Amino acid sequence: MSFDFDLFVIGGGSGGVRAGRLAASEGGAKVGLAEEYRMGGTCVIRGCVPKKLMVFASAYSGGVADAQKYGWKDAQIGAFDWMHFKGKLDAELTRLENIYRTNLGKAGVEIFDARATVKDAHTVELSTGETFTAKHILIAVGGKPFVPPFEGSEHVITSNDIFLQKKLPKSILIVGGGFIACEFACILNGLGVKVTQYYRGAQVLRGFDDEARGHVADMMRDRGVDLHVGTDVMQIEKRDDGLWVKSSTGHDHTFDAVMYATGRVPSTDGLGLENTGVETGRGGEIIVDDYSQTAVPSIYAVGDVTNRINLTPVAIREGAAFVDTVFHGKPTKADHDLVASAVFTQPELGTVGMTEEEAREKGPIEVYAAAFRAMQTGFAERNDRTLMKLVVCATTRKVLGCHIVAENAGEMIQLAAIAIKMGATKEDFDRTVAVHPTMSEELVTMKTPTRTFN
């Protein structure tokens, strides 16, 4: 049977673009790719890239106070110009999107600016009315923000919308306790917005190391975020002076804006999967095996739509592994073990490996932790405290996890992840000579366990 394409990719995010480009340029495949919004997906258009640029922008306000403590007595900063920043941000995202399109075109991928759905195991239909057959279909449509239904939910914005605002609100309520909620709480606080955050759980950043997440929460409050845990929204009402919010704990207030960051869900609604036999989980995620293959042999899925590890670099690795498996005849599993990540709060949280709580369940461990005021912030008379933490197996001596709360923790954890991925022991860390004076030298100078668990 002949097909219109060897591969048709649905979704122009990081995973789908990498797979499509490699299949065409290295695998010699005829590839089509459909994207209904903008090329680049969540990461480039409404996630990692614009968020990190906002992180950079938000840090300058605190830098002026530090500069004054260091002797720059006349240092000052004016009001933040959101529209100036937004103009440059929009131009940068357009530049990156064009790079994605150019690289796909150079590889020979045919791009369709349309929504694609699946008609059967080998057929996709576009919103333009066109229909194409493909030997293989790769679904890489990512995820979308989830807002629970409640009275007044139509008045809220999500992380997708924050980059599109014509002006910054003077006050905002952020609902949620995950990394997106905490990051934007810190960003907007740094940009001069009065930020309140509600989270219904006992502590923000569920799933991260308990000591580290508690440390981040303390630092967020110290920097001005009005963080309330054990608190949820019951009702929102639009009034003349803003959005009135009724909370579960009686903290009823009016805000200029309310942003929900209560998780993301796979974008599988209306994709036509029911026509194919592709299986989905309770959250709508596409169920795949270790090679990203669905229950239908010709259909694969990578990235956030599978809800495995929802990180851009993971989606890229999954896309490359798919190409190796299908087009190079080299069955390849994407490696989901010991994947490092960073939460770009202020200060940042970098993490790799097991949390202390996870490691306790596996066997005897030693915990090495140091919380201290870093030289730079201490001299500036800031209350920020850095946390460096290693979780060590008491029998094999391998470092099972590393957790850092500090400025630039994301940069530090990338390097620590290499050692831990290679199986470094605590003694390997101890043998490494410290770089002085740095914050990260604590990782190789902690000699005595803070606590042990048998």
Q: Give the active site residues.
A: 436
Per-residue exposure over 75-90, b if at least 16 CB sit within 10 Å of its own CB, e if not? eeeeebebeeebeebe
Q: What is the DSSP letter of 207?
A: T
The 3-state DSSP class for residue 272 equals: coil
Q: Which parts of 29-130 are beta strand (E)? A: 31-34, 110-112, 116-120, 123-126
On whether the CB atoms of residues 247 and 232 are closer than 8 A, the answer is: yes
Q: Which residue spans within 28-169 are E strands per DSSP?
A: 31-34, 110-112, 116-120, 123-126, 131-139, 143-145, 157-158
Residue labelled with tokens 């579960």: 248
Residue 204's Cβ-count burial label (10 Å; 0-12, 13-18, 19+) is buried
Q: Position 16: which residue type? A: G
Q: Which residues, 6+ apart, have CB-to-CB distance to 90 below 8 Å?
A: none
C-beta of residue 286 within 8 angstroms of C-beta of residue 273 = yes
d(CA 408, CA 291): 34
DSSP one-letter code for 328? S
Strand partners, 125: 117, 131
**Residue type present at position 445:** T
The CB-side HSE value for 396 (13 A sphere, CA atoms) comes to: 12
Q: Which residues of 137-162 are buried (b: 16+ CB within 10 A; e: fewer)?
A: bbbbbbbbbebeeeebeeebbbbeeb
Rounded CA-CA distance 189/173 in Å is: 11
| β-pair type (110-112, 451-453) | unpaired
